[in-house]
């Protein structure tokens, strides 16, 4: 589509639908994260690690899903997640998933 062409009604409707689905999914995720952060929040006066803990859990879950959907083929799992194969392998080790995958 050139700069002077206007998007079609169908493409506008599709964009609105995707935006709506994205908003709904974000709301669901926010509610779940709120519950998780409530459980993770420490009250002992220590520095909070909520961010690191949640990111770790989310990454670990995404990697497990990718591995399952790609029959534990690491290169295909990396493509599924849209990351480089070496990055995938390094993160698998950091997330302690390489040992689980070997079992």
Total domains in the chain come to: 2
Q: Is 1 within a domain?
A: no
pTM of whole model > 0.95? no
Q: Exposed/middle/buried for 51, CB within 10 Å: 0-12, 13-18, 19+?
A: exposed
- Lowest-confidence region among 18-22, 56-60, 72-76, 86-90: 18-22
User: Model confidence over 61-93: pLDDT tens digits?
Assistant: 999 999 999 999 999 999 999 999 999 999 999
Q: Is 2 within a domain?
A: no
**Half-sphere exposure for 101 (CA within 13 Å, toward CB):** 20
Q: Does 65 share its domain with 91?
A: yes
Q: Is 3 within a domain?
A: no
> Quick one: which H or E segment has residue 68?
helix 50-69
29: left (phi over 0), alpha (psi -120 to 50) or beta: alpha
Q: Is 26 within a domain?
A: yes
Q: Does 99 share its domain with 53?
A: yes
Confidence of residue 103 (pLDDT cuts 50, 70, 90): very low
Q: Is 24 within a domain?
A: yes
Instruction: Quote the pLDDT of residue 41.
Output: 84
Rounded to whole angstroms, how far apart are CA atoms 54 and 52? 6
34: containing domain = 8-41
């Amino acid at each position: 589509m050139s700069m002077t062409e206007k998007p079609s009604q169908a493409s506008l409707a599709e964009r609105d639908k995707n935006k709506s689905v994205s908003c709904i999914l974000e709301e669901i995720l926010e509610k779940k994260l709120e519950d998780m952060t409530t459980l993770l929040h420490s009250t002992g006066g220590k520095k909070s690690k909520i961010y690191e803990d949640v990111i770790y859990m989310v990454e670990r879950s995404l990697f497990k899903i990718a591995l399952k959907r790609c029959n534990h083929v690491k290169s295909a799992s990396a493509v599924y997640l849209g990351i480089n194969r070496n990055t995938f392998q390094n993160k698998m080790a950091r997330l302690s998933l390489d040992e689980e995958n070997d079992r």
